[in-house]
Amino acid sequence: SEESNPNGSKEAIAGICNKDGNILGMMPHPERASEHLLGSEDGRLIFESIIRRVEKTKDNLR
């Protein structure tokens, strides 16, 4: 339904990444829900996850 897929993406896909997991494309805007001041902190989880991943693999990025 349009309500459950407001952007109209094919098969309700909100994001994709490559097989190595180092390239990500997203339709949602988690930055709009990353601080309490903005009304929600739910989007903050994606950024914290990115930070953890980069810290874990930073030696492989050189």
Per-residue pLDDT of 20-53, as tens digits, reads 888 888 888 888 889 999 889 998 998 999 899 8
Hey, what are 53's tokens?
A: 């991943």
Q: Does position 2 have pLDDT exceeding 90, yes or no?
A: no
Cα separation, 10 vs 14, in Å, equals 9
Determine the 3-state secondary structure of 34 from DSSP. coil
- pTM, full prediction: 0.56
